[in-house]
Amino acid sequence: MAKTKKDPKVIRYAPVVYQPITETIEKNYMPYVMSVIVSRAIPEIDGLKPAHRKLLYTMYSMGLLKGERKKSATVVGATMKLNPHGDASIYETLVRLTRGNATLLHPLIDSKGSFGKQYSSEMKYAASRYTECKLDPICQELFDGIEKDAVDMVDNYDATTKEPVLLPTTFPNVLIMPNTGIAVGMASNICSFNLAEVCDGTIALLRKPNLPIEKMMELIKAPDFSGGGAILYDAEQMRQIYETGQGSVRIRARYVYDKAANCIDIVEIPYSTTIELIMAKLSTLHKEGKLKEITDFRDEIDLSGFKLTLDLRKGVDPDKLMTKLFKLTPLEDSFKCNFNILIDSVPRTMGIPEILGEWIKFRLRCLTRELAFDLQKKKDKLHLLLALGKILLDIDKAIRIIRKTEKDEDVVPNLMKGFEIDEIQANYIADIRLRNLNREYILNRISDIEGLQKEIAELEEILADEIKQKGLIISELTEIKKKYGQPRKSLIVHADTVTHYSEDDQFVNYPARFVLTKEGYFKKITFQSLRGNDEQKCKEGDEILSIIDGENKDVLIFLTDHAQMYRAKADDFDPTKASALGDYLPVKLGMDADEKPILMNIQNGYPEKEAFVFLFANGKGVRISAANYETTGNRRKLTSVFSKTSPIVAAFYEKTPMDILLVSSDNRGMILKSSLIPLKSTRTSGGVQVFTLKKGQILVSASIDLSALPEGAKGLKKLKIPATGVPMDSIK
């Protein structure tokens, strides 16, 4: 059979629909942005993010406010009914709230097992199947009133159960619990404050709504961190934080000096750093030779708590060393405050009085709802007891009505008609057991009527008077302070009383001789060690390139044949003897492979009138002002410091004009004044022709040491450039 030819496939493309970017943002992006801000990253007035609230409410519903701990895995699994974002994120949230993790001043979860530590990024928590937890007793204050309709309850994500919109916390947890969150276009960073101080500040604000900020700062003295440390108190900076909710708090580590062991034990570090960051910085400084005072450092954290130990060299002043470490390491760090809180689903950045004012409004709403709930319950009970009182007048009549009623559904209507009571009251009477239809039982019950009426009147009076409601809140806060208050963990130190780092205090200045060899070996030699022995030892085949006298506080620069400049402090090098080889600069300064120094100079400044002189193999030369090498930052390495067009022959530093001897490969030489070489403004300038060379010839050497030249060398001097060299053999 002949094969039939198939029709070619026709590719049909969907029509292109263009959507304006504004519409894309409005319909696709903005809902995501609002979800992150409102439902994830920013805490609300109860001090909790949704993830915290869902976890704590699940534990509350499981009865974990009392009783024994349960496996964390069980809690995590139950929480997924409210928070379906995966078990890992839920467990991370749980870990942060535990007593074992030490993140919170007042932990919300009582834990058993390994939960890591806030001050360590590498001390990991155990898997949820190994750890156990329950709610800490302080959580009673978070949930108090939740059973009395204190807050709204809403459906969970799949409408199978209810969860609270907020928790009716009876104290300003928003300032007690530290919180950090990054949303879209905004963030929140709230530090913790001392519970007792916050209670005092809130009570003062309840009594005097227009409380001066100075009084608030007296009551709530400063942030208080779970890790302790010393807060460097700056009154103006603290006032800015209290007024605007934004600013920065400086925190220093706290330490003790063990004289017997000659070591420093750091026992508290800033809340915003970790021991790993500190040790990494210490290691870097030690490798760079900037921590010669320390012989060893180690992590000695154990069951007794945090400890980082620094072993000191003999004679080191521990207090001076710590001022240096505060400057150079995260042992002094800052906590950047940004008190951004959701108020009625709207993010607001507020100062402390404003936050407490919003919390008071929130707490008043919760309290009035609780009081209204109690009032209704008492009114309902009174309503039933009044019906019971009517029956007391004729118990036999009630029994007779029930006995003579033929149908069950007619009992309630007949009682309503017989005693002129409503349906609720009639149902209550009908449900009383026969044995309780006696005078004694009824009298005992209706004896509560007078007390109920009095309680109802008191509740109605409180509900009508905001001052009395505030009085109840003050009583609650006073009791909470008494029950849960604890001394400050973070010490307050006034910033103007602390000692700050000064380089001049950290090392002893003394005269020294600096020696550099062509192979890159450097020596710093004290003049005391030079007495009687100034013969410099060099490696075989090596020779001295430069010798300069200076001081230990000087800054040295090293130019290399790779057109790079390295800066170092003389103090970075250990003193040595003339008989030693010294430090190998390519390793010490991290030079490139096969890179060798060609110039050393003391460079404490970069005067515009002084210059670097460069001479190249092609016979060209150039002068570059020293000011061209000054940098704004403390850069240790500078690249492209001269032209790479032709190999460098020599480099000199010119303070005043100098005579330079130039020699070519065909043994011709000349002497010229460095001032004849033009000054250029660009570091990579190739310069001008200085030495006129024959074809195939190059410049091979340049020197400012003319002491070995004979008297006839005066004929080598040239008064203008370019110039042709004179045969060196003719000089006598």
Give me the active site residues, please: 130
Residue 412: count of CB within 10 angstroms of its CB? 20
| Nearest residue to 356 via CA among 143, 171, 221 | 171
Look up tokens 């929480």; give the residue: 79
Residue whose entry in the numeric block shows the structure tokens 């919390």:
359
Angle at 628 between CA 625 and CA 631, to 5 degrees: 145
Q: How far apart are CA 51 and CA 49, in angstroms?
A: 5
Q: Which residues contact 704 (CB under 8 A, 6 or more apart)?
A: 652, 658, 659, 660, 661
Residue 44 to residue 103: CA distance in whole angstroms: 19
Q: For residue 46, which of 155, 177, 183 has the smallest C-alpha distance? A: 177
* Token duo for residue 187: 């963030």
What the block records as the tokens of 278 is 């500190």
Q: By CB neighbour count within 10 A (0-12 exposed, 13-18 middle, 19+ buried), where does 459 fall? A: middle
Q: Which amino acid is at 591?
A: M
The answer to whether the Cα torsion of 394, 396, 400, 403 is positive or negative is positive
Q: Cα-flanking dihedrals φ and ψ of residue 673, to 5°?
A: -80, 135
Cβ-contact 355, 339 below 8 angstroms: yes
CB-CB neighbours of 228 under 10 Å: 21
Is the separation of the CB atoms in 294 and 312 below 8 Å?
yes
Q: Contact 191/352 with Cβ under 8 angstroms?
A: no
- Among 558, 543, 646, 570, which Cα is nearest to 595's? 558
Given a contact cutoff of 8 angstroms between Cβ atoms, the answer to whether 309 and 253 are in contact is: no
Which tokens go with 286? 């030690």
SS3 569: strand
